[in-house]
Amino acid sequence: MNNAMLRDLVVLAARTAVGVVFVAHGWQKISTNGIDATAGAFDMMGVPAPTLSAWFAAIVELVGGALLIAGLALPVAALLLFVDMLGAFATVHMDSGVFVDKGGYELVLTLGMVSLLLAAVGAGRFSLDRLVAPKWAGGIGA
């Protein structure tokens, strides 16, 4: 196996793992909690425009996560997921320390930075981008 093949397999594994986490969180906001409950929680946490923010987070996480898994429109999806996590960091988690069990930012930092990394490196050869938008398969600036 050559280095390019190994890189693309690792990118596929990372896209899939992070995508599954985002899909689960987006689905939770829509179906398990419901947007009204999510907006209420966002309001209690001080998130600005809580209903709009709840919809944004739910859709970006659900759809963006699915796009990561598929490797489709990856630079755009990954950047939107990064913005979503940046908002969560700045409005909710930043002042709570590192650890998630204390409301900290370890999860949003990790998900946000992996999303940014995926936007930069692209979806790789095992992706729908490789078929429909080959330039995007190599990431931003490819």
36-51 per-residue burial string, b: 16 or more CB within 10 A, e: under 16: eebbeebeeeebeebe
The predicted-structure confidence for 50-60, as pLDDT tens digits, reads as follows 999 999 999 99
How many domains, in total, are found in the chain? Answer: 1
Count CB neighbours of 90 within 10 A. 13
Boundaries of domain holding 65: 3-138
pTM: 0.94
Whole-Å CA distances, 31 to 26, 49, 69, 92? 9, 20, 20, 22
Report, in this order, helix, strand and coil percent for the chain, each rounded to 5: 80, 0, 20
**Farthest-apart Cα atoms in the chain, separation:** 51
Whether residue 137 has pLDDT greater than 90: no
The predicted-structure confidence for 91-135, as pLDDT tens digits, reads as follows 999 999 999 999 999 999 999 999 999 999 999 999 999 999 888
Give the whole-angstrom CA distance, residue 71 versus residue 80: 14
